[in-house]
Amino acid sequence: MRDLPQIYAQQFKTSLAMMLQYRASLVIWLIAHVLEPLIFLVVWSAVSRSSGGSVGGYSPGDFAAYFIVLMLVNHVTYTWVMYEYEYEVRHGTLSFALLKPLHPIHSNIADNVSSKLITLPGMAVVAVILALIFRPVFHLQLWALAAFIPALFLAFLVRFLMEWMLALAAFWTTRVSAVNQVYFVVALFLSGQLAPIALLPLPVRVAAFILPFRWTVGFPVELFLGKLTPMQALTGIAVQLVWLGLSLLLMRVVWRAGLRIYSAVGA
């Protein structure tokens, strides 16, 4: 544990160098992260204007603020580990990682954070351009902005651990694309990426409160925009901590079970 900061520092250097070798791939990922919220922004803004200027209390300016902030929050919390683990298991590259004295998750975290450090400035520029075009309306509150920082950090941890755990399905089946697609479709509805949670039907809102998806994306966005009361913010952070503990526990259980049956399949 004492050497962990130095190990992470070196891993960040290695990951940054690797990411810079794949600049075209990073640009493609960047475009994908911009297009989805941009499409929803245009659609909901059009719906709002056609409904007299507001839908569920959201004006076009409110929708602009919501989806621009969501674009940045989703980028910060997003991870691609669910796509990579299938390849690592199927081709046996995970075997080399298991020979190292450090848990493989640390390398995955370093890679993920490194990619964000490279692409976040580009995302910020895109956010400024979208703000100039769509004229977002912000209702910022100082306490909410302060609470947003730990909420965003917890959102990243919960989402990373949860998706890392689901990626371990590759230990039991080497074709996990179907699992990934089901997960991302459910997350699209329950995380607030498709629309603000407040605009969804009551059963969906209840499911969003119980399941972890909202707390990894929608909750930090709502908090940043001042849509929550202090009690709702505290409740949300408490739920994030619960899901963080559950994700850590489940990850450890699934990881140990997966290692007992792991064998490199080969190309």
219 Cβ partners below 8 Å, 6+ apart? Answer: 151, 155, 192, 236, 240
In a domain, residue 255? The reply is: yes
DSSP for 235-253?
A: HHHHHHHHHHHHHHHHHHH
Q: Is residue 89 part of a domain?
A: yes
* Predicted TM-score of the model (pTM): 0.88
**Angstrom distance (rounded) from CA 56 to CA 50:** 13
Residue 42 lies in a domain: yes
DSSP output for 137-159: -----HHHHHHHHHHHHHHHHHH
Residue identified by tokens 């850590």 is 248
Domain housing 62: 4-261
SS3 55: strand
Task: Please give the tally of structural domains in the chain.
Answer: 1
Low-confidence ranges of the chain (pLDDT < 70): 1-5, 7-8, 11, 15-26, 174, 263-267
The answer to the question of residue 107 being in a domain is: yes
The per-residue pLDDT for 205 is: 92
Query: pLDDT tens for residues 71-120?
Result: 999 999 988 788 777 777 777 777 777 777 778 888 788 778 877 877 88
